[in-house]
A and B are shown apart, each in its own frame.
Chain A
């Protein structure tokens, strides 16, 4: 099993450009999450999904959109990137809301 995978691993964008980050998991987990991690801030939840076709806002959702068209995939979109979105983005999944979250390797995004 690959667990949780993320693509791409690195990306550099210019202000105003758009992009989509892909998260995939092969553990048949219902719940998936997108976090951002910034120095001195800890992990903060952006959006999450409790099942295929569902999404919900987390702590810092502004400037991001998500979709969960297939159970195994969770996409994070930036429609118009801003320098404040420079961060490391982690995807995670869990079998249940109470369950342990398993993290992907992360995507390092720089917005110039």
Chain B
């Protein structure tokens, strides 16, 4: 089975930096995704990690430690439009019904 934990809600200030953590316990591992979802909209892809380390993409970075079952999404220079839910999802080997399991999402609130 799969279990993914992330904080329910976080608050940060415009212009600041925020780190959203995700821990997972899975029967296998074949990659971790981060998605952004604005209220009432579809999830959109942010990043993908399959090897340990940091992946940087503009203001967003994602880190993975497979030995610790841990990932984080780092958002820099926060903007009001970054207010959204951030979904962590883990892929298990073989895809299919166990292919992609989503966490419940972290609702990020950006304050002026």
A binds B: yes
Residues in A lying within 8 Å of B, measured CB to CB:
4, 31, 33, 40-45, 48, 50, 56-59, 90, 97-98, 100-106
| Option from B45, B89, B97, B103 in Cβ contact (under 8 Å) with A57 | B97
Q: Is the CB of A56 within 8 A of B102?
A: no
Residues in B whose Cβ lies below 8 Å from that of A41: 104
Residues in B lying within 8 Å of A, measured CB to CB:
30-31, 33, 41-45, 48, 87, 89, 91, 94-97, 99-100, 102-105
Docked pose: A39 CA to B99 CA in angstroms = 22
| Option from B30, B48, B95 in Cβ contact (under 8 Å) with A100 | B48
**Shortest beta-carbon distance from B5 to chain A in Å:** 11
12 contacts between A and B (CB under 8 A): A42-B104, A45-B99, A45-B100, A97-B95, A97-B99, A98-B30, A98-B91, A100-B33, A100-B48, A101-B33, A103-B42, A104-B42
Docked pose: A101 CA to B99 CA in angstroms = 11
With A43-B87, A58-B97 already in contact, the answer to whether A100 and B45 are too (CB < 8 A) is yes
Q: Which residue of B lies closest to A59 (CB)?
A: B97
Residues in B whose Cβ lies below 8 Å from that of A44: 102
Q: Is the CB of A102 within 8 A of B100?
A: no
Residues in A whose Cβ lies below 8 Å from that of B103: 42
Q: Which residue of A lies closest to B40 (CB)?
A: A106
**Shortest beta-carbon distance from A48 to chain B in Å:** 7
6 residue pairs, one from A and one from B, having the closest CB atoms: A97-B95, A103-B42, A42-B104, A43-B102, A42-B102, A100-B45
| Option from A48, A90, A101, A102 in Cβ contact (under 8 Å) with B97 | A48
Q: Is the CB of B97 within 8 A of A56?
A: yes
| Option from B30, B94, B100, B105 in Cβ contact (under 8 Å) with A101 | B100
Docked pose: A50 CA to B97 CA in angstroms = 11
Docked pose: A73 CA to B53 CA in angstroms = 37
Residues in B whose Cβ lies below 8 Å from that of A43: 43, 87, 89, 102
